[in-house]
Amino acid sequence: MSIPSQAFEQYTVAFYNLENLFDYTNDKHILDDDFTELGRKEWNQNRYEKKLKNLSDAISKIATDLTGKPPAIIGVAEVENKKVLNDLISQPKLAAFNYNFVHYNSPDERGIDVALLYRKDLFTVEESQPIHIHLQDDRGGTDTTRDILYVKGILAGMPLQLYVNHWPSRRDGAADTEHKRISVAQQLMEHVNRLDPEGGRTTIDSGTNILIMGDFNDDPNNNSIAQHLVPHGFTNITASLKKGHRGSLNHKFQWNLFDQILMSENLDNDVPGSLYVHQADIFDDIMLRQWKGKYRGQPARTFVGRRYTGGYSDHFPVYVILRRN
């Protein structure tokens, strides 16, 4: 007779691209005009509040069928500011779980940042910082993009370091923009190696337990991930989830797995009393899917083009479950 998964001590760590979580007021310092009441998206209080309700509902259900509780930690992308994060964690579906967040404004011209949500009863933040990314455009000038968020803390007694990423998009073509994502990967590894010269191959007790998560705008087999992250002491625990019929987002009716979580190799262990990464999955429940029409089965988006559809996000969340040995 198998033991129910909820009988184990386990914790979910997730990543979720929230697809343009903007408030509906204009910020003159960023390009958020579309997401204002008079903007192209006609973004208003009702639409904003529905978005918050949808996202909080989704987050509250990630892996709860396996653990019986919402995630301990959630890395997020495409958030405008601290206000939207405060509004999100104050939603009824999340408020009871005492979430807090770490966020820094980044130089991204659209003003979309990454952040980390965490349950204060399960995770203690010891240190955090934005990692500024240096890229050049075709003219040799600065090409602004999202910072990487670094957070160091303690999850249920275990030291844990987290990197939350949202790498440059493929909007100008996957091949033409590949060098940008490779550069970000290299700059990420420079930070990892400064903190962990052994490249993640130290013991579970050493404090160098690392999870790298994010929307990488590349699949697991692309060079930025497969050649510039994995060989440096990391395992892409989500790589096997990419299949022809499954992924974290769908573009032109093709599935991609841009949303991924990588772990330092010491998080695969059998040390008594230690946490280890037990499994990974995509949270692609029917509630997050388009129910009908030509996009049936794909993520239920907030907008399809300029048409408001009132969904959740154009990405599904991904997650790992850490279990106590």
Quote the pLDDT of residue 305: 84
List, in order, residues 6 or more apart from 112 with CB less than 8 Å away: 20, 77, 78, 79, 80, 146, 166
List, in order, residues 6 or more apart from 149 with CB less than 8 Å away: 75, 102, 103, 104, 114, 115, 116, 128, 130, 131, 162, 163, 164
Domains of the chain: 7-324 (3.60.10.10)
Quote the pLDDT of residue 38: 87
Quote the pLDDT of residue 204: 46
> Shortest CA distance to 76 belongs to which of 259, 246, 219, 226?
259
Distance CA 153, CA 123 (A): 7
Quote the pLDDT of residue 194: 83
DSSP string, 162-215: EEEEEPPPSTT-HHHHHHHHHHHHHHHHHHHHHH-TTTT-S-TTTT--EEEEEE
The model carries a pTM of 0.95
Positions in the chain whose pLDDT score sits under 50:
200-204
Kindly state the tokens that stand for 188.
Answer: 């990420």
Quote the pLDDT of residue 198: 57
Quote the pLDDT of residue 1: 56
Quote the pLDDT of residue 324: 96
Distance CA 175, CA 178 (A): 5
DSSP string, 86-100: HHHHTSHHHHTT-EE
